[in-house]
Amino acid sequence: MFSRRHQKALAKFALTAFFIMATASLWALSISNRYRSPRNPERQVRKSTTLIILHTTEAPAKSSLNKVSSRGECHYVVTEEGNVYAIVDRDKEAFHAGRSMWHGKEDVDKYSVGIECVGYHNKPMGIVQLRAIKDLISSLKSMYRLNDNSVICHSHVAYGAPNKWYKKKHRGRKRCAMLFATPSVRRELGLYSRPKSDIDVRAGRLIVADKYLNTVLYGSIDPMSRHYPQKTVKKAAPKVTAKVPVKPAVKPVQKVVPKLVPNVSAVATPKKVSKVVPKILSKASRIPTSEKDLKEGGWTKVGVVKKGGTIISLAGSKWNKSDTYYTIGKKVISGDKVNPAKIQVGTSVWLKK
């Protein structure tokens, strides 16, 4: 048996080792300090951390990074390429939540970590970016000992000031990061539960001003499900071996059939055996490697990605299908292999009609 002094020493060692491992996992993400905020030295250290809040920038990476860096408006930024930038030290306060409330507690900045994700609240993100967000969340959850329900989006906590339409305080000032509340995206992030209801609304502290947003946050609507469908695993049916009673063998009675003389005139002449010629695949059935192959194979060019545009606006729900193709320069890439982050202006989109 260990003495009380030894027990305390072991507990202290285990706690120190835990934080070292958590910090090491964050460094494994290759977090860059290139956009470290000049406001970082003046920010206070948080007394507690009970939430991780995900935001969407609603703007491109460069302008978003410059803005949040100059104002110290978050702790991390994750770009479309999966790059992670540290803005404010993770244990300090970053002004990311704004006018906010969670379970009756306002000023959410004082007890949360804020992650800005380059993208839009109603558009899907690439797998590379989601994996980086997932790794960052996993490390922070381990470090602060948080569960899945503690990872929420800005829409969960933001609420608006009274105005001419709503005289009372109301939830749903904006739909920032709404996609991170959907079950399909949360599965991609390794999160398998979410808050079931708005406790502040139930307590009468706030009202539901945006019914659609409230249904996405807590109801059955999942606008991202067609982009990230749930993978179903078919279970093999259990083998049922039924005992069949064995009947005693009985010899069949053989019938005597009289021999018939065949009619020579009725015998059919043998048909000629035709040789099987191997079918040669046409050019249209080959995997296309050029725009010429695409045209011959029945694909139609539906448009070209322009500045500020997205592949979703051209290809819709088929953007990541195997029969959708993109021509980037001289390369032809199928939709199931393309990295959305690498799509550039001038990329042609081809769909099978």
Report domain extents, the chain.
16-218, 283-352
- Cα distance between residue 118 and residue 59, in whole Å: 7
| Residue of 52, 75, 50, 49 lying closest to 151 (CA atoms) | 52
Cα–Cα distance, 38 to 317 (Å, whole number) = 42
For residue 252, the SS3 value is coil
For residue 243, is pLDDT > 60?
Answer: no
Question: What does the alpha-carbon distance between residue 208 and residue 219 come to, in Å, rounded to a whole number?
Answer: 13
The segment with the largest mean pLDDT, out of 101-105, 276-280, 316-320, is 101-105
Check the CA dihedral 303-305-310-315 and report its sign.
positive
Look at residue 7 in the predicted model and tell me its pLDDT: 62
What pLDDT does residue 319 have?
Answer: 80
Q: Angle at which helices 4-27 and 127-144 pack, to 10 degrees? A: 160
pLDDT score at 169: 79
**Token code pair at residue 308:** 């500020």
Checking if the pLDDT of 282 tops 50, the result is no
pLDDT tens-digit map of 250-266: 555 565 555 554 554 44
Q: Summarize pLDDT for 76-124 with one digit per residue, the tens.
A: 999 999 999 999 999 999 999 999 999 999 999 999 999 999 999 999 9
Across the chain, mean pLDDT equals 83
Proportion of the chain above pLDDT 70, given as a percent: 76
> Which residues are within 8 A (CB) of 301 and not within 5 positions of it... i.e. 6 or more apart?
291, 294, 348, 349, 350
More confident residue, 250 or 165: 165
Which stretches of 192-234 are assigned E, i.e. beta strand?
Answer: 207-208
pLDDT at position 254, please? Answer: 60
Please determine, for residue 59, whether its predicted confidence score (pLDDT) is greater than 50. Answer: yes
Q: Give percent of the chain with pLDDT exceeding 90.
A: 51
Q: What whole-number distance in Å separates Cα of residue 36 and Cα of residue 87? A: 4
Asked whether residue 139 carries a pLDDT value surpassing 90, the answer given is yes
CA dihedral (215, 221, 223, 229) positive or negative: positive
| Residue the block writes with tokens 């009985």 | 250
87 with 73: CB under 8 angstroms?
yes
Calculate the dihedral angle through the C-alpha atoms of 73, 307, 316, 294, rounding to the nearest 10 degrees: -140
Q: Provide the 8-state DSSP code for 108.
A: G
| Arithmetic mean of pLDDT, 4-14 | 59
Per-residue pLDDT band for 278 (boundaries 50, 70, 90) equals very low
Class of domain 16-218: alpha beta
DSSP 8-state code for residue 45: B
Q: Which of 4-8, 259-263, 342-346 has the highest mean pLDDT?
A: 342-346
Query: Tens of pLDDT along 146-163?
Result: 999 999 999 999 998 887
| Contact indicator for 64, 118 with CB cutoff of 8 Å | yes
Q: Which residues contact 297 (CB under 8 A, 6 or more apart)?
A: 283, 284, 285, 286, 288
What is the structure's pLDDT at 163?
79
The amino acid at 69: S
- With tokens 């960052």, the residue in question is 136
Residue 71 in contact with residue 40, Cβ under 8 Å?
no
pLDDT at 316: 79
Which pLDDT belongs to residue 121?
96
Closest to 205 (Cα-Cα) out of 171, 176, 173: 171
**What CA–CA distance (Å, rounded) separates 212 from 220?**
11
Question: Which tokens belong to 274?
Answer: 């035709």
Q: Which two tokens stand for residue 295?
A: 């045209």
* Those residues with Cβ within 8 angstroms of residue 343's Cβ, 6 or more apart along the chain or in another chain: 305, 311, 326, 328
Looking at residue 343, its amino acid is: I
Query: What is the predicted pLDDT for the residue at 46?
Result: 97
**Binning pLDDT at 50, 70 and 90, where does residue 294 land?**
confident
What is the distance in angstroms between the CA of the first residue and the CA of the last residue of the chain? Answer: 75
